[in-house]
Amino acid sequence: MPDQDPKRHHDAVSPPRLAGHGRYGYSALPQRPVWTWPNGARLAVYVAVNMEHFAFGEGLGAELAPGGPQPDVLNYAWRDYGNRVGVWRLIDLLDDLALPASVLVNAAIYGYCPETMDAFRARGDEVVGHGRTNAERQGILAEPDERRLIAETTAVIAAAEGRAPQGWLGPWISQSRVTPDLLKEAGYSYLLDWSMDEQPVWFSTRDGGRILSVPYPQELNDIPSIVGRKDTGEDFAHILETTFDEMAEQSAKAPLVMGIALHPYLVGQPHRLRPLRRALRRVVERRDDLWITTAGAIAAHAASLPEGMIP
């Protein structure tokens, strides 16, 4: 006769076991400890400016329109606009609004247009490692080659800036299965590739180590929005504004991180810069209620909290 006890039947069934990464366990946001950012703020906001350089006639790159055979002059030149024109307008905007930046830089930028990094250095902005070039993905490399990519990028930045970067974002958000381990072993304290949370999260690394994951946006990111979903500049600004309003309200319940990811060849275009200016003004108008900062400062504050506060 069939078993009529639903509970007994439920207890006898095991959930499926899926492949996992082993870096972090599940943690429900409402069940975590509640703490604050500096000065009692509950919402931390940072702006990430992606400084990227691409190989001509080969490799990867975002596309304004479907590219033809290499050399793809249309899309190469469109991206290069960001380093020649767009970045300077974006720096002016950040200056006007007194906004700090985390500059996610391809090492190739220092050879191609070092003047751009001179300008960010004069502003006192944080520099974050972002690979050699966004014409390549790091996650497909063999471990020795990936280690070399991280080492080469780190060395170029350290030589130019006088210190090694503490944070890393892989080109194309690309990680291998050992990327967090390699970053920890190379001296990095945080990474930005994972967008699964609105708080920092500790990642386990091999040999008993750990590295902090700081939230990096994919929704408040102009590439997925404008290139991927074909949003307009007004659409992207609206996404930024409504996300800010909602996260400011949600942060009453828990400390949150709101990142804004920008690429000069996208938002440096005049028709996108204008609505972005309006949206960022909306954020800075509430400066006294927020912690407007950098990704590195967010990582440092989170790492300084008592053990158990960060999942």
Q: What is the pLDDT of residue 130?
A: 98
The CA-based dihedral angle spanning residues 101, 109, 266, 167, taken in that order and rounded to the nearest 10 degrees: -40
Give the three-class secondary structure for 256. Answer: strand
CA atoms within 13 A on the CB side of 124: 7
Contact 78, 265 (CB under 8 A): yes
Contact 166, 130 (CB under 8 A): no
Q: What is the pLDDT of residue 12?
A: 74
Integer Cα distance of 295 and 101 in angstroms: 8
Q: What is the pLDDT of residue 90?
A: 98
State residue 248 phi and psi, 5-degree precision. -60, -40
Integer Cα distance of 101 and 47 in angstroms: 5
Q: Please give the helix or strand (H or E) that residue 277 lies within, else none.
A: helix 270-284
Integer Cα distance of 222 and 139 in angstroms: 22
DSSP collapsed to 3 states, 151-186: HHHHHHHHHHHCCCCCEECCHHHCCCCCHHHHHHHC
Q: What is the pLDDT of residue 67?
A: 81
Please give the chain's pLDDT, 311 residues, in tens. 455 555 555 567 999 999 999 999 999 999 999 999 999 999 999 999 999 999 999 999 999 888 889 999 999 999 999 999 999 999 999 999 999 999 999 999 999 999 999 999 999 999 999 999 999 999 999 999 999 999 999 999 999 999 999 999 999 999 999 999 999 999 999 999 999 999 999 999 999 999 999 999 999 999 999 999 999 999 999 999 999 999 999 999 999 999 999 999 999 999 999 999 999 999 999 999 999 999 999 999 999 999 999 99
Q: What is the DSSP string of 45-105?
A: EEEEEEE----SSSS----SS---SSS-HHHHHHHHHIIIIIHHHHHHHHHHTT---EEEE
Integer Cα distance of 213 and 179 in angstroms: 12
